[in-house]
Structure 1
Amino acid sequence: MPDVTLKSPNLDDVFEKWKQKTLRTSKKKLEKEFGTKGAVFSLDNISAAETVKETEKEAAIYFEIKKTVAPAKGKEQKERMRADKVEKETFFTFKGKSVNKDNWKGDDVVPIYETIETVPCTKCGGKGYQEEKCKTCKGSGKIEDQILVLEGEEQKKEKKPFSYPCPYCYGSGKAKEQCSECGGFKNFYEYEVLPVPYKTVVEGKPVLFSSAKTKYEKEIGEDLQKLIEEVQGIKFTDPKTLDKKAEASLGYYNKNIKKMLKNAIGEYKDYDKDDDTKITTPMYLFPVIQMFCETKRGKSFEIYSIGSDQKFITYSNF
């Protein structure tokens, strides 16, 4: 690709275009800031030489993407846990409604409340305990003992058998031990972890980077999406080529432009790797002029132009 240099607009042309645009949109404010009391207001009395105090040459990168937001991708899975663990989990419910991904804060796959199911413990059969032979009475349900009996006048000693219900198993011969598997909760609880139901949306989106410190990047990006044919820039299909030829194409360069190029190319590459995103236009490089101005009344404001001397548009915070 041969080197192509864009010529920036003449400063007087940028200023004149701003005056005409502002006359249509903010005539009263223009008269207030630049008019002379007792004199008929005229645009001819507003000159770039008196108004523009400083000028910077900057640059902008623009391209468009088409982003497809589809339902979240993620492996559906089931979780199984005890009741005391379930209460510590956070569940979600969507009630059949889709979610705007841009507004969603959280994981792409989440536990769903409606999927909670009770599953009896297989080890204890859902009883919460296991019955085993009582260790005290060895399963007989009775405690076998002997008592001393003195017989007759001679008080002959004799031991007689004596049995009574085992107090540890309540005479049943069986002891109930807490189930080691379910911890006595009888059941386990299963639930599904499912993808968030994102809305399927396909949208075109402008992406703009500017080396000028401006609050108008979003507005400029939206305008360029509609007016791209009315603004002249240089097209680049390869970020590497843009990085190498930006200075030659603009005819100037500075640290702000260098930083802007790095950020723009980095984000371009990220979009290129994103399965949900398709880059739909080349990268456009535009000259940007930033004018720092002051009215007769001392009000500071800025004027921006984006594009070449052949086709450019203006913005201002006047």
Structure 2
Amino acid sequence: MPEIKIKTPNLDDIFEKWKQRSVRQDKKKMEKQFGTKGAVFSLDAISAAEYVKDTEKQAAIYFAIKKTVGEVKKDINEKTVLPPKVAKETFYLFKGKGKINKENWKGDEMVPIYDTIQTTPCKNCKGKGYVETKCRTCKGTGKIEEKLQVLTGEEQNKEVKPFSYECSVCFGSGTNVEQCRDCGGYKNLYKYQILPVPFKTVVTGIPVLHSSAQTKYEKEIERDLHQMIEEVEGIRFNDFKDLESKSEASLGYWNKNIKKTISSAGSDFKSYSKDKETQITTQIYLFPMIQMFCETKKGTKFEIYSLGSANKFMIYSNF
């Protein structure tokens, strides 16, 4: 993109535009502040040379975004837990309640949903709550086998005789019953889904303005630019790095406030570019701004701001 230098409005043209608008809005106030007692009031007698005490050159950066608020995520998470953990969880239910306004929502965007809770029999114990294992004491026979030493006859000959009795560990069953380690004896586990909150999808156009003048009119200027961008002339850029490198040459002037403003606007632009819910819908505009410090004949101080080029500019004032 070739370097383009924009011509700022002439101070007399800015002041003249302000005069014409002010007299239409409140002629009596203009007469009171600038009129001479006993003389016929005339706008021709009010000049920038006499009433503009000082000026500053500033700049403004503007672009517009489209923000999709409440777009539902497609992620689905699932948890499987023991019954006591289900009781400790906070669940949500949206069925039949309509869509949720994201701006009013307080909490996470992904939440546990009550009507997704399902019972799942424990696979380890097959829903019994316990597992059976072979008794180690009796080796699964249910009996303890012993050998008795028996002395027989007058000679007291030693003989070994078998002797068995019920195993006291497994109660003669040959198996031990142990609490299932997976389900803790509850027989079942419970699974539920963590789903996105069903937000309303709201698409809004939002103007973004950064001004080095930092006036109280920034919201008003944002609104006007959003509605009447073709009524004011600025330099358009497709890339913020291009704007950063060419802004000083394009404006024909520079100061610390302008540099700081461009840096701040660049940070916002970068953030919006990375935001999945946001789309930048316009080019980036660089506007010259003239800040005029004025004082009426009666000593009332006020300011006039112009935004735009010599060809097309808008004015704002606290008069």
Q: TM-score, normalised by structure 2?
A: 0.71
Measured at CA, do residues 215 and 131 of structure 1 come closer, stay the same or move farther in structure 2, by a change above 3 Å? farther
Q: Distance in 1 between matches of 2:106 and 2:295?
A: 44
Alignment correspondent of 1:137 = none
Measured at CA, do residues 100 and 40 of structure 1 come closer, stay the same or move farther in structure 2, by a change above 3 Å? farther
Q: Distance in 2 between matches of 1:296 and 1:186?
A: 91
Q: Distance in 1 between matches of 2:114 and 2:29?
A: 58
Q: Which runs of 5+ in 1 are unaligned?
A: 135-139, 141-165, 167-173
Alignment correspondent of 1:15 = 15
How far does residue 315 in structure 1 lie from its aligned partner after superposition?
1.5
CA deviation vs aligned residue, 1:35-61 (integer Å, no higher than 9, x gap): 677877654565544544432101112
Residue 281, structure 1, aligned to residue 282, structure 2: yes
CA deviation vs aligned residue, 1:191-222 (integer Å, no higher than 9, x gap): 21112323334443322221111232232122
Measured at CA, do residues 311 and 180 of structure 1 come closer, stay the same or move farther in structure 2, by a change above 3 Å? same
Q: Distance in 1 between matches of 2:318 and 2:117?
A: 56
CA deviation vs aligned residue, 1:94-150 (integer Å, no higher than 9, x gap): 33523344555554432223323344545566676779999xxxxx9xxxxxxxxxx
How far does residue 284 in structure 1 lie from its aligned partner after superposition?
1.6
Amino acid at match of 2:71: P
Q: Distance in 2 between matches of 1:190 and 1:216?
A: 55
Q: Distance in 2 between matches of 1:299 and 1:130?
A: 92
CA deviation vs aligned residue, 1:142-180 (integer Å, no higher than 9, x gap): xxxxxxxxxxxxxxxxxxxxxxxx9xxxxxxx9997654
Measured at CA, do residues 17 and 193 of structure 1 come closer, stay the same or move farther in structure 2, by a change above 3 Å? same
Q: Is the 8 A contact 1:7 1:308 kept in 2?
A: yes
Q: Is the 8 A contact 1:69 1:101 kept in 2?
A: yes
SS of 2:99 mapped into structure 1? coil
Measured at CA, do residues 190 and 59 of structure 1 come closer, stay the same or move farther in structure 2, by a change above 3 Å? same
Amino acid at match of 1:192: Q
Q: Is the 8 A contact 1:83 1:185 kept in 2?
A: yes
Amino acid at match of 2:286: L
Q: Distance in 2 between matches of 1:59 and 1:103?
A: 36
CA deviation vs aligned residue, 1:199-247 (integer Å, no higher than 9, x gap): 3344433222211112322321221122222211112223232222111
Alignment correspondent of 2:254 = 253
Measured at CA, do residues 71 and 2 of structure 1 come closer, stay the same or move farther in structure 2, by a change above 3 Å? closer
Alignment correspondent of 1:155 = none
Q: Is the 8 A contact 2:80 2:189 kept in 1?
A: yes
Measured at CA, do residues 133 and 233 of structure 1 come closer, stay the same or move farther in structure 2, by a change above 3 Å? same
Alignment correspondent of 1:115 = 116
Q: Is the 8 A contact 1:74 1:108 kept in 2?
A: no
Amino acid at match of 2:61: I
1:97-116 equivalences under 5 Å are 97-104=98-105, 106-116=107-117
SS of 1:207 mapped into structure 2? strand
SS of 2:64 mapped into structure 1? strand
Residue 84, structure 1, aligned to residue 90, structure 2: no
Q: Distance in 2 between matches of 1:303 and 1:184?
A: 79
How far does residue 34 in structure 1 lie from its aligned partner after superposition?
5.3
SS of 2:226 mapped into structure 1? helix
- The range that moved more, 177-186 or 92-101, is 177-186
Q: Distance in 1 between matches of 2:88 and 2:39?
A: 77
Alignment correspondent of 1:204 = 205
Residue 232, structure 1, aligned to residue 205, structure 2: no
Q: Is the 8 A contact 1:71 1:195 kept in 2?
A: no
Q: Distance in 2 between matches of 1:265 and 1:235?
A: 15
How far does residue 288 in structure 1 lie from its aligned partner after superposition?
0.5
Q: Is the 8 A contact 2:68 2:203 kept in 1?
A: yes
Measured at CA, do residues 126 and 15 of structure 1 come closer, stay the same or move farther in structure 2, by a change above 3 Å? farther
Q: Distance in 1 between matches of 2:131 and 2:310?
A: 89
Amino acid at match of 1:213: Q
Measured at CA, do residues 289 and 99 of structure 1 come closer, stay the same or move farther in structure 2, by a change above 3 Å? farther
Measured at CA, do residues 7 and 183 of structure 1 come closer, stay the same or move farther in structure 2, by a change above 3 Å? same
Q: Which runs of 5+ in 2 are unaligned?
A: 136-141, 143-167, 169-174
Q: Is the 8 A contact 2:70 2:101 kept in 1?
A: no
Measured at CA, do residues 180 and 8 of structure 1 come closer, stay the same or move farther in structure 2, by a change above 3 Å? same
Measured at CA, do residues 176 and 19 of structure 1 come closer, stay the same or move farther in structure 2, by a change above 3 Å? farther
How far does residue 89 in structure 1 lie from its aligned partner after superposition?
3.3
Measured at CA, do residues 102 and 24 of structure 1 come closer, stay the same or move farther in structure 2, by a change above 3 Å? farther
Question: How many residues in Structure 1 have an aligned counterpart in Structure 2?
Answer: 293
How far does residue 254 in structure 1 lie from its aligned partner after superposition?
0.8
1:131-210 equivalences under 5 Å are 180-183=181-184, 187-210=188-211
Q: Is the 8 A contact 1:74 1:109 kept in 2?
A: no
Q: Distance in 2 between matches of 1:59 and 1:125?
A: 74
How far does residue 251 in structure 1 lie from its aligned partner after superposition?
0.7
